Amino acid sequence: MEEPSGAQLLGPVEIRALAEKLDVTPTKKLGQNFVHDPNTVRRIVAAADLTPEDHVVEVGPGLGSLTLALVEKAASVTAVEIDPRLAAELPATFAWRAPQLADKLTVVQKDALKVQQSDFATQPTALVANLPYNVSVPVLLHMLAEFPTITKVLVMVQLEVADRLAADPGSKIYGVPSVKASFYGDVSKAGTIGKHVFWPAPQIESGLVKIVRTKTPWPQDKETRAKVWPVIDAAFLQRRKTLRAALSGHFSSAPAAEEALRAAGIDPQLRGERLDVADYVRLAGVIGS
């Protein structure tokens, strides 16, 4: 199948001109840093492994740098944008830079943390985004929870957050985000992005995180999360404590915590960072030992 003719991607000149036109100053509050390097955008899209059948959701499209590249590869793109000025301008940017692909774009003006399945005409199969840095993990987890149809994820986040999300059990940076992301499938780091491809340039480097949703022995539903999430949170609340001590509040007492841990085949003297997601699911009583 022949690919549609490509979009004209945005460079530094176009990004500045659009921002000036809209009187937009990127804000720290909304975690805005606009990518102005076409090569970086293409790299992100390539790492996402999209097919022409994929329906992509992009969170925080900003001025449309990544959005323009995504529509070249996917069946459709739904862009979720909280800023009304940016949301209103995206269709105009497509009319300017990719008129032949404009019908593949849908814009949803909403807070990504509140977006629901009912906001989408077509349920997404992929999440590809330069996530707002200040809410990157909550947004990522919300999208995975709300849209079980998402089977592939490629997101750009702060490098430190990327390392945490992809950390393995036993490492010093393994924690709540690592466990909760792996609840849905295989999490890995897909690269590092320097500061100078953004406007304004952030203080820190960024990292790409890839998640491939897999079939798990546990249901990935709201009821399961309601049982598992509190156990994960309690285990890492005071990460220097043993699980017997850390989970004493959750299980009402230290002896009760020890009993639950032993029933799940887990040493009560271990710390939370030693357990993988399957251990936590078992401990929550969702699947047996």
User: Of all residues in the chain, what percent are helix, strand and coil, respectively (each to 5)?
Assistant: 45, 15, 40
Residues whose CB is less than 8 angstroms from the CB of residue 114 and which lie 6 or more positions away in sequence, other chains included: none
Question: Is residue 39 marked as binding?
Answer: no
Q: Residue 4: what pLDDT?
A: 42
Beta bridge partners of 188: 210
Residue 32's pLDDT is what? 60
Mean pLDDT per 10-residue section of the chain, whose length is 289 residues: 66 90 72 81 96 97 95 97 95 96 97 98 97 93 98 97 98 97 98 88 89 97 98 95 97 97 97 98 84
111 annotated binding-site participant: yes
Query: Residue 3's pLDDT is what?
Result: 40
Q: Note the pTM of the prediction, 2 decimals.
A: 0.93
The CA distance from 287 to 32, in Å, is 41
Q: Is 134 annotated as a binding residue?
A: no
8 A C-beta contact, residue 197 and residue 168: no
**Sign of dihedral through CA atoms 275, 278, 283, 288?**
negative
